[in-house]
Amino acid sequence: MSAPVKTLLPGATLGVMGGGQLGRMFVHAAQSMGYATAVLDADPTSPAGLVSHHHLAAAYTDTAALAELARVADAVTTEFENVPAPALRVLAQSRPVAPGADAVAICQDRAAEKAHFQRAGVPCAPYAVVDSDAALASVDAALLPGILKTATLGYDGKGQVRVATRDELTQAWQKLGKARCVLEQMLPLQNELSVIVARGGDGDAVTFPVQQNLHRDGILAVTQVPAPQVSAELAEDAARCAKAIAASMGYVGVLCVEFFVVAGADDSPRLVANEMAPRPHNSGHYTIDACDVSQFDLQVRCMAGLPLIAPRLHSPAVMLNLLGDLWFAADAHVAHTPRWAEVLALPGAHLHLYGKADARPGRKMGHLTITGATASEALERALQACAILGLPAF
């Protein structure tokens, strides 16, 4: 068990496991509130490490580095769902850790995750665990066509194979090295949503507005808020489900729950939980520019034991994920700087680049948030930005 979350006022040091862009934005939020920060990440040029007061360049399981992080930090969080849960348990022996290792461990395992959704009373896609030849042979034919996913370490579409027949299922499992997997029934999706919930140690929880998401090749491409195709009733249900999932884990911190919207028996839309991330999420980056508190502000408040306030969306927004492919749009072999000046000439354009030295196809390099007085205005300008950058319209 983690040490209880206590109130840590500005001047304290907040630690984060992981040095990627989520850690970088957390560090910026913590520093703006007057906290010192410490990052543990093996990469000496990690985006978060470069802007933090302390950077421990070591593996997550390095005993000496964990001891040093516990010495310099008054509380610890994580920005990466695959930080080893045992490392969080070591830290929790002497420091508050939010989220705790048990919750992170659930989020790291698709089978445990889906079982947790069911315990929380939230529906998920029909599924089966495939971890042996016998389990493979006993898969219900009703789950096909489906998606075979590795139970651990898969993200952004990695470790996933679509299968339509038993033969394809067998071949896919072999392709994935006969790793422990989850086979999910493929559902007819109307759209995809996500909800970001922040939950404090006292059980108080708040949510951001429901986000409507578009993925391309398994990677988030576009987020729109307010969600244009979501009724008030469905949005309320999504927020309720996200809070229930967090509460049933005793979760402390920021959690993102992704949902599919599918047609119910009477053709009315219904929610199906897809997966969750024990940290701020790509789909919530718009909160920095479009809300009065961001997901990273609330991450700081959760781990510091400060009051949570219900976020207010002050500007409709569209967020575009910026992958390294943009740098190679003109030449597949030579990186060129995208046309930022033209993009920044658009009213309401907010460019966030993550400080990564090398652009590579598929690598998350930054995001662009377009805010407007109305949702239609934000959408129009976002489409203009897509045209300038060479991104597909949506």
Evaluate the omega torsion of the peptide bond into residue 338 and state whether it is cis, within 30 degrees of 0.
Answer: no
CB contact at 8 A, 137 and 130: no
Kindly report the length of the chain: 394
Digit-coded pLDDT (tens) for 60-106? 999 999 999 999 999 999 998 889 999 999 999 999 999 999 999 99
Q: How many CA atoms lie within 13 A of 345 on its CB side?
A: 7
For residue 3, pLDDT beyond 90: no
Question: What does the alpha-carbon distance between residue 292 and residue 307 come to, in Å, rounded to a whole number?
Answer: 15
Would you state the pLDDT for residue 5?
Answer: 60
Q: Report pLDDT for 154.
A: 66
Residues tagged in the binding site annotation: 110, 149, 154-160, 184-187, 192, 215, 274-275
DSSP E strands, 226-327: 253-263, 269-277, 317-323
Residue 327 has pLDDT above 80, yes or no: yes
Over residues 334-378, the pLDDT tens digits come to: 999 999 999 999 999 999 999 998 999 999 999 999 999 999 999
Residue 155 has what pLDDT? 64
pLDDT at residue number 357: 85
pLDDT tens, position by position, 46-58: 999 999 999 999 9
Residue with tokens 């033209």: 342
- 130-164 burial string, b = 16+ CB within 10 Å, else e? bbeeeebeebeeebbebbbbbbeebeeeebbbebe
The first and second tokens of residue 277, run together, are: 């991330």
How far is C-alpha 89 from the chain's CA centre?
22
pLDDT, position 2: 46
Residue keyed to tokens 């790793």: 179
Strand partners, 207: 197
- Residue 386: what pLDDT? 98
pLDDT in tens, 235-271: 999 999 999 999 999 999 999 999 999 987 788 899 9
Q: Cα separation of 49 and 51, whole Å?
A: 6
In 3D, which of 89, 294, 274 has the Cα closest to residue 191?
A: 274
pLDDT band, very low/low/confident/very high, at 1 (cuts 50, 70, 90): very low
Which residues does the annotation place in the binding site for ATP? 110, 149, 154-160, 184-187, 192, 215, 274-275
Q: Which amino acid is at 272?
A: V
275 bridge partner residues = 258
Give 330-333's long-range contacts (Cβ < 8 A, gap of 24+): none
Q: What is the DSSP string of 25-92?
A: HHHHHHHHTT-EEEEE-S-TT-TTGGGSSEEE-S-TT-HHHHHHHHHH-SEEEES-TTS-HHHHHHHH
**Domain architecture of the chain: domains with CATH:** 13-97 (3.40.50.20), 126-185 (3.30.1490.20), 189-389 (3.30.470.20)
pLDDT band at 156 (very low <50, low <70, confident <90, very high): low
